[in-house]
Structure 1
C-alpha cells in the first residue's frame, strides 16, 4: 500500500526555511485551515521552527477527532468495556451484596444521560487543553471558516458568511477533515435517525438500536451499545462484519456479537430509514423491514473540501472529493499542503498528525521522512479490540510474497485465563526466507497496547526470531507475542 496518489504531478519544491516567494519577509508565514490532529500538530511544528503561524478553525480546537469522533466515541466505548468486565464478575467469584450468585452478571445498568454528559465534558476539556497549548506555543488562533483566495492568501469567513479577516501566507496547510456520509432516503434528524456525531445527545439508552453499516464505526458503536444494555441490530450489506479487516479477526468479533445477543444481518443492504410514531423503520433492498426505537447510519464519510476555494486555486481533487497529496503532503499547487481525512490517505488521527508534521518539516526546510503507511498501527475499539500493523494476510497473498503465518489463541495464555478472557488471538506474518516481520494482528482486550512490539518489529525490520528471543513478563498477555514469534521460527525451519 502506498500513500503516493497515482498520477499526481510532482509540484515544485517548497520555499526554504526563512524565505518567502516575494523574498521580502524573513519569517515564513504559515496558515493552517482546520484545527484537528493534522492541523494543530502542523501548527506546533511550524511555530517551533520559527514560523509565524495562524490557525483557522470554525467548530473548536481538536476538530471532529476530539469533539465528535475519536475522543467521545472511545470514551463511550471505555464505559461499555467496564460493562463487559462486570459481566465476568460471577465467574471470578465476585457478587454484589444482597444479590444471589447467579444474578451478578446483570446487576449493573447504565445512566446514559450521565455517560453522555461525561463524554461531552471530556471532549471539551481536551479541546480546551489543545487551545491552551497552541496559545502557549505562540500560534495565533482565528475563529471562522478558511477559504483559499490564492496560494498566498486565505480569507476567513464568519458564521454569516462575511469575510472577517484576510491572511497572507507563504505556506498553507489544509486540514479540513470529513463529515458523516448520509443516504438520501435516510437523512439524520438528530432524534431517532442519527449520525455518529449526534449520539451524545441521547437522554436514555435506546430500546432497540438499528445500526446501518458494519465497517469500523458501525461495529464499534454496535458493540458499545450492546454492552451498555441496548437491544442492537447490525445491518451489513456485506457477508460479514468488518469486511475490510483480517478475516479471522472479523470472525471472532461477529461470533462475540452474536454470543452477546446482538442480531447481525449479513448481506442486507438498507435502502431507506423512516420515522414512525414511536421509532424507526429500516427497509432493506430485498423488501424486508426492520423496526427499532433508533437508527444509527454509519456508512462512511465524505471529505470537507467543498466551498473552500480549491478549484479556484487549482488544488487537484481525486475521486470522492479528496485532496490529492504525495508522501510529504504536497498538493498539486506549490506551497499548499494537506493532511488528514480530507486527503483520503488513511482515516486515522495518528496518520493525520504525521501528515501535518511531515508537511511543515518539508515546507520549512527541515529533514523529512516521507509517510510510510506500511508501518502504521491501527485499532478497532470493539470488545475485544482488533489491532493491526504492516501488511495484511490478503495483501501478502495478492502480491505473491512468500511468507508464513503463525497464530496463537489468547485462551491458552495464563494471564488471559486469570482475567477470564477467552476470545482473541495473536497472529504474525513473517517472510519465509528472511524471517522479517511483515505484519501482525492482535485480537484482545487492549489490543491497541499489545500491538506495539509488532509495530516496532515492522518499523525496524526485526525478525520473528529477534522477538522470540526477547524476555516477556510471566504471566502477561504480551507473552503470547513472543510465543507466536517462536511458532513462526518453527514454521520456517
Structure 2
C-alpha cells in the first residue's frame, strides 16, 4: 500500500460537529487511511492509498459531504508513506522516536493518525517517562496525602480543634505505587496497544548517522525523520564524598516504603520544595541546603518571602547561601561539610538520608550526537526553534531534552508538533508567551507570561498591581489569607502581559490569566467581567480594579 497525504482548505464548517461529520464520512470510504479535520482553522489532512484514489477523488469525496466544499488543495510534496509490511527490511521506518515519555508518546500518537510507520526506542525509565513514573503523578499524590495529614492537625478556625492523625507511611507509598502502575498502563501503554504502525523497543539508541541509530550496540534502524525525546534526569553535583555516602533522588525517594527519620535536601528549586513540604507533613524532619540566597530563586522576593515563612512555620529548616563541599560517613550518620554565608565552614550531621534536588540535566551524553554534529546549548540541551527543528533538517527534538520549558504538557505539544512539521508542508510553531505553570507547595505558586523583572528587561512599559489575599472575601471566609495575586499590564495597551499568584490552590486561577494573556484581554476587561462572589477567582477582578482604585475602600460587591 502506497500512502500519500493531501492537505485541504474546506469551506462551510461552523462547529466540531461539522469536522466530525467529514471525518466520519471520509474514513469509511475505501482508500482513505485517516482523516484529521479542524473546523476552527478550516484545514484538513487526509492520508489515502494512491493505488485506490487520486487527489481529485479525495476532493470530490469532501465536496459530496453535506454543504462543505474544498476551496484550495495543497498536495504535500515528498509525502509518500510506506506501510511497514512493504519495506524491504524490518528495520526501516518513516519515523524513529528516541525516548518513551510524554513527548515520545504524543509523537507516536500523531504519527499513527497519519499512517506513519514508527519505531519508539526507550531505555532508562519505563515507558511513560518522568511524569507518570517518578515525577508529576507520584509527587502530587504524596503532596495531597500530606495535605490531608496537615489539615487533620491544623485548623484556621478557633472553634475547630483537630484531634490529630495516624499516618501509615508504608501504605501511602504502596498506594502511590499502585496509582503510578495504573496510570502508566492506562494512559500510556493501553493508548498505543492497538496501533498498527508502531513498534516499541526497549534499548539504548545511539546515532550512526542522521538517519540511522544503533540499539544496544547490536541492531541498526533507519528512518526518514528522527525525533529525540529522551528527557532529563537529576543533576548530581561533583562534591567530594557524595557518591560514597549514598544519596537519593526523587526516583529512589518516592519508592522508599520505610519512613525516613529525617532528610537533608540539597536544593530549593520546585522539586526540592515540593518534596520538603510533603515529607515534613508526613512526619519526617526536613532540612534544606540552598547555595543561593533564598528558595525558588527564579521568582521575585515577595513570593519567596511568603513561602519561606510558611515552611519555617511548619518546622522546615532552610539554610540559604550554604554550599556543601564534602560528605563523609560517621557510623549511621552523614557529615556534611558546608561553606557558610560568611565564608567560614561548619559541619551538619544528618541522621537520616540525603536527597539531591539541585536541578536536572538533559539526557544527551550517550546518544552519539557527535556522530551527527547536533547543536547543543551550553548546558547540554538540544537547541531547537519554535518548530522543534534542530540544525539537522530531518532531526527534531521535543520535551525536557531541549531548550524549551520543562513541563509534561509542553513536551506533549512539542512531540506532536515535531511530527507535523517533519511530514507536512504546513509548519506549526509552539508559542510559550502565555505558558501557565504551577509549583505545588502550600500555598501554591503559579505564573503565566512575564513578571515585572522580565518586563523591565524587555523594555516594555508596564505597571504592577498586587492584591494581598486579605482583601479577597473568599480568603477571609476561609480564614486563610496567605499570599497575593499580582498582575502586570502593558501601560500603552492596557493588555495583561503577566501574572503571578501565591495562594492556597492558587494554581486553579492561572489558566484564566494565561488565556487573558494569549488573547490580548485588557485589564479593563478583567475588572468589568462578572465573577461569582466568594470564589478565589474574584481576586482577579479585585487585582484588576487595584490598578486604579484602593480596593480596601470598596464594598464587597462594588465594581
Q: 1:257-307 CA distances to partner (integer Å, 9 max, x unpaired)?
A: 111111111111112333332232221123211122112111111111122
Q: CA deviation at 1:126?
A: 1.6
Which residue matches 1:249? 303
The 8 Å contact of residues 465 and 485 in structure 1, kept in 2 or not, is answered as yes
Which residue matches 1:175? 229
1:67 to 130, 133, 155: 133
Q: CA deviation at 1:206?
A: 2.4
Q: CA deviation at 1:356?
A: 1.1
The 8 Å contact of residues 111 and 204 in structure 1, kept in 2 or not, is answered as no
Q: CA deviation at 1:489?
A: 4.6
Q: CA deviation at 1:29?
A: 0.8
CA distance in 2, matches of 1:326, 1:16: 23
CA distance in 2, matches of 1:18, 1:471: 50
* 2:191 aligned with 1:133: yes
Q: CA deviation at 1:193?
A: 2.1
Q: CA deviation at 1:405?
A: 0.7
Q: What is the TM-score normalised by the length of structure 2?
A: 0.77
More deviation, 108-117/321-330: 108-117
Question: Structure 2: which 5+ runs fail to align?
Answer: 1-75, 551-559
CA distance in 1, matches of 2:407, 2:325: 28
CA distance in 1, matches of 2:95, 2:462: 46
Q: CA deviation at 1:241?
A: 0.9
Between structure 1 and structure 2, the one with the greater Rg is: 2
Within 5 A, what are the aligned runs for 1:19-418? Answer: 19=80, 29-58=94-123, 59-89=125-155, 91=157, 93-94=159-160, 101=161, 104=162, 107-129=164-186, 130-138=188-196, 139-157=198-216, 162-163=217-218, 165-185=219-239, 193-285=247-339, 286-292=344-350, 293-365=352-424, 367-418=426-477
Which residue matches 2:497? 438
CA distance in 1, matches of 2:507, 2:426: 29
Q: Work out the number of aligned pairs and report it.
A: 460
CA distance in 1, matches of 2:359, 2:177: 23
Q: 1:424 to 1:288 in 2, by over 3 A?
A: same
The 8 Å contact of residues 156 and 478 in structure 2, kept in 1 or not, is answered as no
CA distance in 2, matches of 1:287, 1:413: 46
More deviation, 218-227/426-435: 218-227
Q: CA deviation at 1:490?
A: 4.4
**SS of residue in 2 equivalent to 1:320:** coil
**Higher relative CO (CA 8 A, sep ≥ 6), structure 1 or 2?**
1
CA distance in 1, matches of 2:184, 2:212: 27
Which residue matches 2:79? 18
The 8 Å contact of residues 46 and 364 in structure 1, kept in 2 or not, is answered as no
Q: CA deviation at 1:420?
A: 3.2
Q: CA deviation at 1:174?
A: 0.3
Which residue matches 2:515? 456
Q: CA deviation at 1:188?
A: 6.5
Q: CA deviation at 1:470?
A: 1.7
The 8 Å contact of residues 188 and 194 in structure 1, kept in 2 or not, is answered as no
**SS of residue in 1 equivalent to 2:401:** coil
CA distance in 1, matches of 2:202, 2:377: 28
CA distance in 2, matches of 1:187, 1:446: 40
CA distance in 1, matches of 2:302, 2:110: 40
Q: CA deviation at 1:396?
A: 1.0
CA distance in 2, matches of 1:236, 1:471: 43
State the Cα RMSD in Å: 2.4
Q: CA deviation at 1:16?
A: 4.9
Q: What is the TM-score normalised by the length of structure 1?
A: 0.87
The 8 Å contact of residues 242 and 327 in structure 2, kept in 1 or not, is answered as no
Q: CA deviation at 1:53?
A: 1.9
Q: 1:28 to 1:141 in 2, by over 3 A?
A: closer
Q: 1:19 to 1:188 in 2, by over 3 A?
A: farther
Q: CA deviation at 1:90?
A: 6.9
Q: 1:80-121 CA distances to partner (integer Å, 9 max, x unpaired)?
A: 222333343472744xxxxxx4xx26x114322222222222
**SS of residue in 2 equivalent to 1:170:** strand
Q: CA deviation at 1:448?
A: 2.0
Q: CA deviation at 1:320?
A: 2.2
